[in-house]
Amino acid sequence: MTLKEIKEILQAEIICGENLLDIEIEFAGGADLMSDALSFGEPGLILLTGLTNSQSVRTADIIGAKAIVYVRGKKPNIDVIEFAQSKKIPLLSTKLMMYTACGRLFSHNLPGVHEHKGKKSNAC
């Protein structure tokens, strides 16, 4: 699924990274606690979170996430946006709650981290 499709499913607004809407996203994960994201995160995921400070972008960069969606209509400040731009991490914002946003993506066949990992190991 492309980031553009995710944007449409979540009726999300692009905060930065409009030129990266064609990237392919294979799986997603949601967390407000960055230690949880650091624990389950895998390279390539899209991170859904309600945390808008710089640690959300830093965590995404450290785990190799491809993009961040902020839920509940939240938006980061300009410093965080510039940090994301420097790391080439697109930022989106949706008015949906975390549960609804994750549910919509899952129902459109975007798996979670564990389902994605399970699929990969079954293929081996």
Partner 1 sequence: MHAEVELSLNFDIKGRNFSKAGTISTKIKEILQELGIPMSIIRRTAIAAYEAEMNVVMYADKAQLTLCLTPAGISIIINDEGPGIEDIKQAMEEGFSTATDEIREMGFGAGMGLPNIKKNSDKMKISSIPGKGTSLDIFFNLSKVSEQ
Q: Please report how close the Cβ of residue 36 comes to partner 1 at its closest, in angstroms.
A: 6
Strand-pair partners of 46: 28, 67
Cα–Cα distance, 66 to 45 (Å, whole number): 6
35 makes contact with partner 1 (CB under 8 A): yes
Pick from 51, 67, 84, 105: which binds partner 1 (CB under 8 A)?
51
| Region from 16-24, 31-39, 66-74, 94-102 binding partner 1, contact rule CB under 8 A | 31-39
Reported in sequence order, the residue ranges of the chain that DSSP labels E, i.e. its strands, are 13-16, 28-30, 46-49, 67-70, 91-93
43 makes contact with partner 1 (CB under 8 A): yes
64 makes contact with partner 1 (CB under 8 A): yes
| Residues contacting partner 1: total by CB under 8 A | 20
CA torsion sign for 21, 43, 59, 35 is positive
97 makes contact with partner 1 (CB under 8 A): no
Is the distance from CB of 71 to CB of 50 less than 8 angstroms? yes
Residues that bind partner 1 (CB under 8 A): 32-36, 38-39, 43, 49, 51, 53-56, 58-59, 61-64
